[in-house]
C-alpha cells in the first residue's frame, strides 16, 4: 500500500513537470508569434510612412493637403485600433494556451485531494 502512495506521488510530480514544460513551450511559441507580428507591423508602418510622405509632397494645394492629411489621420487611428485588438487577442490566446496545462494539473490535484479525503 505504501508503494502505491509513493508511485502516485512520483506520477503526480512527473505530470506536474510535464505540464510546466508544456506551459513554457506554449508561452515561448506565443512570444515568438508576438515578435513576428511586431516585426510585420514595423515593416508595414515603414512602408506606410514612405507612401504617406510621398502622397503629402505630391499635393498641389493646401486644400488637397488638408483633405489628405485628414484622411490619413482617420486611417491611422483605425489601423491602430485594429492592430491593438489583434495584439490583445494574440496576448489572450498565448496566456490561455500557456495556462491550459497548469489548469489541468490543478484540476487533477483537486480531484486527487477529493478522492483521498
Considering the entire predicted model, what is its pTM? 0.75
Distance CA 9, CA 1 (A): 13
pLDDT at 117 (0 to 100): 65
Domain ranges of the chain: 2-116
Quickly count: other Cβ atoms within 10 Å of residue 52's Cβ: 16
At residue 28's C-alpha, the angle toward residues 82 and 24, to 5°, is 130
Closest CA to 34 of 96, 95, 91, 99: 91
| Lookup result for grid cell 500557456 | 98
For 19-54, write each residue's pLDDT tens digit: 999 999 999 999 999 999 999 999 999 999 999 999
Distance CA 85, CA 81 (A): 6
Amino acid at each position: 500500500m505504501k508503494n502505491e502512495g509513493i508511485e502516485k506521488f512520483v506520477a503526480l510530480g512527473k505530470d506536474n513537470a510535464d505540464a510546466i514544460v508544456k506551459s513554457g513551450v506554449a508561452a515561448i511559441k506565443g512570444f515568438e508569434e508576438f515578435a513576428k507580428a511586431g516585426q510585420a507591423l514595423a515593416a508595414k508602418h515603414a512602408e506606410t510612412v514612405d507612401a504617406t510622405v510621398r502622397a503629402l509632397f505630391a499635393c498641389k494645394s493646401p486644400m488637397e493637403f488638408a483633405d489628405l492629411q485628414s484622411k490619413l489621420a482617420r486611417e491611422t487611428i483605425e489601423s491602430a485600433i485594429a492592430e491593438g485588438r489583434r495584439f490583445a487577442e494574440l496576448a489572450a490566446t498565448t496566456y490561455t494556451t500557456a495556462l491550459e496545462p497548469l489548469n489541468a494539473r490543478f484540476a487533477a490535484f483537486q480531484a486527487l485531494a477529493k478522492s483521498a479525503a
